[in-house]
Structure 1
Amino acid sequence: MSRTSNRSNGDVIRDFLSVADLLEEPQLAQLYAYIDQEEEVTVQEMMDALGLAQGTAYTYVNRLVDAGVLEATTDEQPRTYVASDIDLTVTASDGTREYTITPALIDAVGRRTTDNDIDTYIDRHGIAGLATALTYTVDREQGEVTHRLMARDLDISPLAAEIILQALRPIVHEHFDIEEAGASVADIEDADRDIAGDDA
């Protein structure tokens, strides 16, 4: 569901509405994220993995199919489902910021029911704030920013920045190809031992 600027307004609005429920209902977001990660699953597999009752699972699947973010890959029983790609950019009403709705953001929203740090951050800063924090987390994992820089940019405490960066770190590593940035503490300690050994 990648969308570009040449789409008509009606199509873009329909696309946005199709993912709005994912951003407002963590259980739907969690289900979408699970299917997106697993690539092709049955309703029974969804029920087993997420602990959903049968009626709830079918209700959620039907809602996601109706929204166009999930589709059945076969008519045979049991049906298997795949998640549609979502990459939708939304501009804030003041025109100053753009937010991209991606599977990573939906995954983060889905984790608010099980991660108090993400839940608290969304309560305080909204989904747009979470999208911004996700961008900073990618940059942080690539060694491009620190939690202090994020805190200064977003006018939040360094502690709040570090907490959300840590909470979003596993999501970033699941959805993005992140190369290790810089040397680890172990690498530095090994280098120090080598230098000491050369001096002996």
Structure 2
Amino acid sequence: MSRTSNRADGDIVQDFLSVADLLEEPQLAQLFAYLARERDATVQDVIDDLELAQGTAYSYVNRLVDAGVIDVTDDEQPRRYAAREIDLTVTTAAGDREYTITPALIDAVGRRETDADIDTYIDRHGVAGLATALTYAVARERGEVTHRLMAEDLDISPLAAEMILQALRPVVHEHYDIKEDVHHDAEEGVNV
């Protein structure tokens, strides 16, 4: 769902609103992330793997199809669904910050329901703050920054930085190519 300037403004706005729904509702984000990860699944797969009630699973899948963020990949019964690629960049009104909404960010938002550290971080810093933390988490897993540097840059406590970096670690390893031999400050322990 990467967008370029040749698209009609209405389409771009609709795409943004569809993605905004994912970022506002962790259950939808979780379903989108699941379909992005599986690449092709039935509603029964969703019910089994995400432990959703049948009515809820069908409702969520239909909402995401209507929003245009997942596609029906097979019209045969049972229908199969897959997530569309999302790469949407949003710039603040002042033009001083830019955020890219990716499947990794949507996945992180979807984990809000099951990860108290992500939930708390979003409550305190918003989804934009989580997007920034995800950028640091990728850099940290690549051995480029430490939790202390993140804390200093974002004016948060080193403990808060370490907690969100640890919470985002599974997201990073699922969505980015990270070499496992990279050593980072988490292995030194959390001496904050």
Q: What TM-score, normalized by structure 2, do the two folds share?
A: 0.92
Work out whether residues 113 and 119 of structure 1, in 8 Å CA contact, stay in contact via their aligned partners in 2.
yes
> Which residue of structure 2 aligns with residue 112 of structure 1?
112
Q: CA deviation at 1:45?
A: 0.6
State which drifts further: 175-184 or 97-106.
Answer: 175-184
Aligned length: 184
SS of corresponding position for 1:52: coil
**Contact kept? 2:73, 2:82, Cα under 8 Å:** yes
- Give the corresponding residue for 2:93: 93
Check the 8 A contact 2:143/2:183 in 1, yes or no.
Answer: no
Question: In the alignment, is residue 171 of structure 1 matched against residue 186 of structure 2?
Answer: no
Structure 1 residue 11: Cα displacement: 2.5
CA distance in 1, matches of 2:40, 2:7: 28
So what's the TM-score if we normalise by structure 1? Answer: 0.88
SS of the aligned residue for 2:143 comes to coil
> What is the root-mean-square deviation in Å for CA atoms of aligned residues?
1.3
Q: Which residues of structure 1 form unaligned runs of 5+?
A: 185-200
Q: Give the fraction of aligned pairs with identical amino acids, expressed as a percent.
A: 76
Residues 76-121 of structure 1: CA distance to partner in whole angstroms, max 9, x if unpaired?
1100001100000000122111000100000000000000000000
Q: Is 1:23 matched up with 2:23?
A: yes
> For residues 57 and 147 of structure 2, what CA distance do their matches in structure 1 show?
38
| Structure 1 residue 179: Cα displacement | 2.1
Closer, same or farther: CA 90–42 of 1 in aligned 2, 3 Å? same
Query: Matched residues in 2 for 1:51 and 1:8: separation?
Result: 38
C-alpha distance after superposition, 1:26-67 (max 9, x if no partner): 000001111110110000010001111111111000000001
Correspondence for 1:81: 81
AA matched with 1:122: I
Cα separation, 1, equivalents of 2:90 and 2:151: 24
Give the drift of 1:183. Answer: 5.5
Deviation at 1:180, TM superposition (A): 4.0
The equivalent of 2:187 in structure 1 is: none
Distance 1:157 1:79, change over 3 A: same
Measure, in 1, the Cα distance between the counterparts of 2:4 and 2:119: 31
Any residues of structure 2 matched to 1:132-151 within 5 Å, and which?
Answer: 132-151=132-151
